[in-house]
Amino acid sequence: MASKAININVKVWRQASPKDKGKFETYPLKDISVDSSFLEMMDVLNEQLITEGKQPVAFDHDCREGICGMCSLYINGRAHGPDEEVTTCQLHMRKFHDGQTVVIEPWRAGGFPVIKDLMVDRGAYEKILQAGGFVSVNTGGVPDGNAIPIPKADADEAMDAASCIGCGACAATCKNSSAMLFVAAKVSQLALLPQGKIEATRRAKNMVAKMDELGFGSCTNTGACEVECPKGISVAHIARLNREYLVANLKG
């Protein structure tokens, strides 16, 4: 049986360069399969624009499997669109209805300046990681699985934190453009493991300082970041970050 197709209007943000003033432009699309992914719909839009002799819409993507975190789009007022715990590339057109206008914007956060159209510079997250989200000491080769006993609950929680893909949805969703959930996940995944203890004191301080330096706001405690996180990372990690930061400051 043939899949259902819908007709939609795509209202997309167009901005030629970081210094140009952007604006919304609306394009009609016909016969979009509801089984296609959102980015496949964007491919169809760009093919149509190229055929018409117009500039295609610039947007970020790579793996299209919900792994790389590059498909950072604000869709109809929600980060990654109207679905739960998915990235934009995992969103399907069945979430939209015939005749609907789909509004697509880039991330709106001070730390993520627009490069072109829907592409933003998420290099700020890399700079935060470079400030402390790593283990630089020599921890030796791969140890035997039982050589360093780690409680299963701690290992599971560390793995949950490590699932963060750095897409930026948390900061884009927060009304203060806070990157606290991202920083908390990266601090938490190391704070729970023995290998991360050695640099714990400076890690929290340096990463929070870099986050503030790059123009991200303070945590609002509304929990919007957790709701829109495609990996469902809990705000409980923010509580751990706060404890790590407090201990680091007490130690000087």
Query: Quick one: which of 241, 250, 173 has its CA closest to 211?
Result: 241
Q: Which amino acid is at 234?
A: S
pTM tops 0.85: yes
Which residues, other chains included, contact 27 with Cβ-Cβ below 8 Å and sequence gap of 6+? 9, 10, 12, 45, 48, 49
Domain ranges of the chain: 5-115, 123-251
Domain 123-251: CATH superfamily, name plus number: Alpha-helical ferredoxin (1.10.1060.10)
Average pLDDT over residues 40-53: 98
pLDDT of residue 145: 62
Q: Note the pLDDT tens digit of each residue in 151-180.
A: 999 999 999 999 999 999 999 999 999 999
When pLDDT is cut at 50, 70 and 90, the band that residue 139 belongs to is low
Average pLDDT, the chain: 93
When pLDDT is cut at 50, 70 and 90, the band that residue 7 belongs to is very high
pLDDT of residue 136: 81
Percentages (nearest 5) of helix, strand, coil residues in the chain = 35, 15, 45
Which residues, other chains included, contact 43 with Cβ-Cβ below 8 Å and sequence gap of 6+? none
Query: Does residue 1 carry a pLDDT above 80?
Result: no
pLDDT of residue 97: 96
CATH architecture of 5-115: Roll (3.10)
Q: Pick the range with the lowest mean pLDDT from 86-90, 110-114, 195-199, 238-242.
A: 195-199
pLDDT of residue 43: 98
Locate tokens 């299209």: which residue?
64
Task: Tell me, letter by letter, the H, E, C secondary structure of 153-193.
Answer: HHHHHHHHHHCCCCCCHHHHHCCCCECHHHHHHHHHHHHCC
